[in-house]
Homo-oligomer: A and B are copies of this chain.
Amino acid sequence: MKPLILVTNDDGITSKGISVLIEVVKTLGDVFVVAPDSPNSGMGHAITVDSTIHIKKSKIFKDIEAYECSGTPADCVKLAKHHFLRGRKIDLVVSGINHGMNASVSVLYSGTMSAAVEASIEGIPAIGFSLNDFRYDADFRHVKRYLKRIVEKSLKNGVPPHIALNVNFPAKSDKPIKGIKICRQTNGYWREEFDARTDLYGRPYFWMGGDFVNREPESEDTDIWAMENNYVAIVPVQYDRTAYPEIKSLKKWKL
């Protein structure tokens, strides 16, 4: 029996990235799609608790059962597992391919990775894929063989329990991809610039912009270094957020 692969993303069901992902994984298993009906970039691990979730059957992918959902990427995974595929074993959740990188702290803001992490909480093997090119018509051709290899190996070896893989592909360039590197999350942050404007009625509003600051640009074991040096970066991501070394230091506060 072929493995059951659930596909989702955060750029929405009509994005190019998800169609490339489906094109690759449908050669490896039975594909079922539940994806947001509109862009959910920067959605993080949001879930819909205070309002209703709406779904529609989608005919967008030939011969593949697909639903578009008004909820977030994490909602899509929950709805797939507990409603559409209730009682069936999902062998793998794949999310993406995101238009834009999700390395370093972007893993926290990423709807793509939050869908994968949501699956890992449920005990389902999961991988989030992102390309370091946020353009609508980004070129994904150079990543297909790497994506296929990672999915094949994940189905064969099993993603470690309660872990989601964060895969970041370099953007298409003149230089070929050098290979795949297992990395850790880069220590960095986004330095925001708020562009203050005034609307037609004199009221202030803002656009959030900014650039990424790498606190450790020389560290060759990090995901940003790998991506910038034309490797595919893979970081194993956990949902236990405890900073274990600090438990001891806080106990000394004698609260």
- Pick the contact of A241 from B50, B78, B107, B192 — CB < 8 Å? B107
In the complex, are the beta carbons of B234 and A250 less than 8 A apart?
Answer: yes
A74-89, CB under 8 A of B: which get 1 and which 0? 1100110111000000
Chain B, Cβ-Cβ closest to A117: B108
Q: Please, which residues of chain B bring their CB within 8 A of the CB of A79?
A: 194, 206
Which chain A residues (37-91) contact chain B, with CB distance < 8 Å?
Answer: 39, 41-50, 52-55, 74-75, 78-79, 81-83
Question: A144 to chain B: closest CB distance in Å?
Answer: 15
Say yes or no: is A173 at the interface (Cβ < 8 Å to chain B): no
For chain A, give the interface size range.
35 or more
Chain B residues within 8 Å of A114, by CB: 44, 108
Distance, CA A236 to CA B244, complexed state (A): 8
Is the CB–CB distance between B253 and A242 below 8 Å?
Answer: no
Complex contacts, A1 vs chain B, CB 8 Å: none
* In the complex, chain A residues 194-239 whose Cβ is within 8 Å of any chain B Cβ: 194, 196-197, 203-208, 234-239
Among the interface residues A47, A83, A180, which one has the most CB atoms of the partner chain B within 10 A?
Answer: A47
Extra contacts besides A79-B206, A238-B241 (20): CB < 8 Å: A41-B49, A45-B109, A48-B208, A52-B197, A52-B206, A53-B206, A53-B208, A55-B204, A75-B208, A79-B194, A160-B243, A160-B250, A182-B247, A234-B250, A234-B255, A235-B241, A235-B242, A237-B243, A238-B242, A241-B241
A-side interface residues toward B, CB under 8 Å? 39, 41-50, 52-55, 74-75, 78-79, 81-83, 105, 107-109, 114, 117, 121-122, 149-150, 153, 157, 160, 163, 165-166, 179-180, 182-185, 187, 189, 192-194, 196-197, 203-208, 234-244, 246-247, 249-251, 253, 255
Q: List 8 A-B contacts (CB under 8 A).
A: A43-B46, A44-B47, A47-B208, A52-B205, A53-B206, A53-B207, A149-B255, A237-B242
